[in-house]
Chains A and B, each alone.
Chain A
């Protein structure tokens, strides 16, 4: 199956799933959960752009998520402009923050970038909790109004779903297109070998910055949806642990693949639901999963499956002398 066909099939399946889901899982509570899955999908798709495509491990996604959530919440609660404006301001604002953080951070290589993203994420989280007059502090922001766009009031979870699902799908489709474009290809190449990409003409820093900014936009959009879905914003979901969880889930599900964020969104949902009662166990599970993710499946479940398929294909094609001559040093990471 060619890559393009695989992409189209994947998107078709996701679209079908999104269309059918609210009927298969009927009821306000279930619809609320589905909105949550769409929000997770946006978050992970965005994270996938910087982690999976550009190959830079970021711990800032939860911070951008929170920035979007608070932007929408504050603008909405303070009735600054029409409500729909706050929904646009969230991804715009988060993207701007990502741009500001990324500009100096992406000049740093590998682990140092991760540390900078960690620092930025923590600063954002602390700000959410300490800027009490603005954000309501640790107790949260109240008074978020009902979402209203062009006369339509989104007063049920189902209504929110019909907003969140198309957004999540569009986000996924766009990300898929971007990953397959020459920019996506260039970013993946740069992740494998920066010097080779540079001499090939790839503006490595600029591409990474663009992807990082986009990841912020996705997170911001997710934040706005979360705010209007729950009517409330608090700092908890945007801290260090949340950032780690997103990274773990994406890694386990397949960073760098189209299906990865989808599997990840479902995995996150599963984690939340299964451990809903045992809230204390959740971090333990995530921690252990991280240790597994880090070593067991570097490219995640989806990546490992596609790898096995490809290896089978290549074994059929490979000539005998090639198999014995392969030198692993020939390729640099």
Chain B
């Protein structure tokens, strides 16, 4: 499998605090690379660096081999990078369909064409019936699916999913995991940031553990799960 996204030695400090220390990881096409770790480990910062919301102090981010470290966020989308946010970032005042249609902006297609694609994306997440509803009126569980649907319209090759299952009841989380797996089978490379460890262990092909800004472990789920350092730092002996 090809390397769709490569993070090389990224360093980032905020006001004297070193948030990321030489972080490197790889996301391969058609696979899920999960990023886990305690709060404050630097996961969101890394997501921001990779998606272009922040510039790193040093290090490189490569998308399909191309160095995108200094590219603004909107240019990365055109090159096939998608991202969802931990705290719902929806376009209030717009309908659900309009919300997802914006995801296809970089494709350069007129709105009329994007509507069809938007509906298809909503269909994939099972919320096509909500297309004309105002996005603020959605229940939390439904609203949580809008961002991934929006991201999908943009036809990404790599997706950063920032806690997509957070706050979802177990059956919805499972459904989401299945959908993510299906997208991977279609070739999408996923960088999954999650706290839901069972979900991660089930879904991921590779797990990277981040602690205090540094990579603590990086390997297949079984290996990481059994790693003593990881258990001490994050998982705990009997953690579910």
Residues of A within 8 A of B (CB): 180-182, 185-186, 188-189, 192-193, 195-204, 310, 314, 317-318, 321-322, 325-333
A201 and B90 form a contact (CB under 8 A): no
Min CB distance B147 to A, Å, is 7
Q: Given A310-B134, A314-B133, do A189 and B111 touch, yes or no (CB 8 Å)?
A: no
Residue of B nearest to A328 (CB): B136
Cβ–Cβ < 8 Å partners of A314 in chain B: 133-134, 137
Cβ–Cβ < 8 Å partners of A332 in chain B: 87-90, 92
Q: Given A193-B90, A193-B91, A332-B87, do A200 and B137 touch, yes or no (CB 8 Å)?
A: no
In the complex, what distance in Å separates the CA atom of A322 from the CA atom of B134?
A: 13
Other than A188-B94, A199-B82, A200-B74, give 17 A-B pairs with Cβ distance below 8 A.
A188-B93, A195-B85, A196-B89, A197-B74, A198-B53, A200-B77, A201-B74, A203-B74, A310-B134, A314-B137, A322-B137, A322-B139, A327-B139, A330-B140, A331-B136, A331-B143, A332-B89
A201 and B105 form a contact (CB under 8 A): yes
Cβ–Cβ < 8 Å partners of B82 in chain A: 199
B87 and A201 form a contact (CB under 8 A): no
Min CB distance B231 to A, Å, is 34
Across chains A and B, the number of contacting residue pairs, with CB separation under 8 Å, is 125
Task: Judge whether B230 is part of the interface by a CB distance below 8 angstroms.
Answer: no
Task: Judge whether B184 is part of the interface by a CB distance below 8 angstroms.
Answer: no
Cβ–Cβ < 8 Å partners of B10 in chain A: none
Residue of A nearest to B140 (CB): A327
In the complex, what distance in Å separates the CA atom of A192 from the CA atom of B139?
A: 19
In the complex, what distance in Å separates the CA atom of A269 from the CA atom of B220?
A: 71
Min CB distance B134 to A, Å, is 6
Min CB distance A44 to B, Å, is 20
In the complex, what distance in Å separates the CA atom of A250 from the CA atom of B88?
A: 30
In the complex, what distance in Å separates the CA atom of A195 from the CA atom of B110?
A: 22
Interchain residue pairs A-B with the least CB separation, the first 4:
A201-B106, A201-B77, A196-B89, A325-B139
Q: Among A181, A189, A322, A325, which residue has its beta carbon within 8 angstroms of that of B91?
A: A189
In the complex, what distance in Å separates the CA atom of A201 from the CA atom of B81?
A: 9
In the complex, what distance in Å separates the CA atom of A192 from the CA atom of B81?
A: 21
Q: Given A185-B102, A331-B143, do A199 and B88 touch, yes or no (CB 8 Å)?
A: no
B102 and A186 form a contact (CB under 8 A): yes
Min CB distance A194 to B, Å, is 9
Cβ–Cβ < 8 Å partners of B83 in chain A: 199
Cβ–Cβ < 8 Å partners of B135 in chain A: 331
Between A and B, 7 residue pairs with Cβ closer than 8 Å are A192-B94, A196-B150, A200-B154, A201-B78, A203-B74, A318-B137, A329-B88
Q: Among A185, A197, A325, which residue has its beta carbon within 8 angstroms of that of B98?
A: A185
Min CB distance B161 to A, Å, is 12
B74 and A321 form a contact (CB under 8 A): no
In the complex, what distance in Å separates the CA atom of A189 from the CA atom of B32?
A: 29
A202 and B140 form a contact (CB under 8 A): no
In the complex, what distance in Å separates the CA atom of A136 from the CA atom of B158?
A: 62
In the complex, what distance in Å separates the CA atom of A310 from the CA atom of B51?
A: 35
B111 and A199 form a contact (CB under 8 A): no
**From B73, B78, B135, B154, residue with most partner A Cβ within 10 Å:** B73
Q: Given A192-B90, A195-B53, A310-B134, do A325 and B140 touch, yes or no (CB 8 Å)?
A: yes
Task: Judge whether B5 is part of the interface by a CB distance below 8 angstroms.
Answer: no
Min CB distance A175 to B, Å, is 16
Min CB distance B168 to A, Å, is 12
B73 and A198 form a contact (CB under 8 A): yes
Task: Judge whether B141 is part of the interface by a CB distance below 8 angstroms.
Answer: yes
B134 and A330 form a contact (CB under 8 A): no
A196 and B85 form a contact (CB under 8 A): yes
Cβ–Cβ < 8 Å partners of B94 in chain A: 185, 188-189, 192
Cβ–Cβ < 8 Å partners of B87 in chain A: 332
Q: Among B51, B91, B114, which residue has its beta carbon within 8 angstroms of that of A199?
A: B51
A326 and B154 form a contact (CB under 8 A): no
B137 and A196 form a contact (CB under 8 A): no
Task: Judge whether B138 is part of the interface by a CB distance below 8 angstroms.
Answer: yes
A192 and B93 form a contact (CB under 8 A): yes
In the complex, what distance in Å separates the CA atom of A189 from the CA atom of B87?
A: 16
In the complex, what distance in Å separates the CA atom of A203 from the CA atom of B108?
A: 12
Cβ–Cβ < 8 Å partners of A333 in chain B: 92
Give residues of chain B (126-159) contacting chain A, Cβ–Cβ below 8 Å.
133-144, 147, 150-151, 154
Task: Judge whether B103 is part of the interface by a CB distance below 8 angstroms.
Answer: yes
In the complex, what distance in Å separates the CA atom of A329 from the CA atom of B90?
A: 11
Residue of A nearest to B143 (CB): A330
Min CB distance A302 to B, Å, is 14
A200 and B103 form a contact (CB under 8 A): yes
Cβ–Cβ < 8 Å partners of A193 in chain B: 89-92
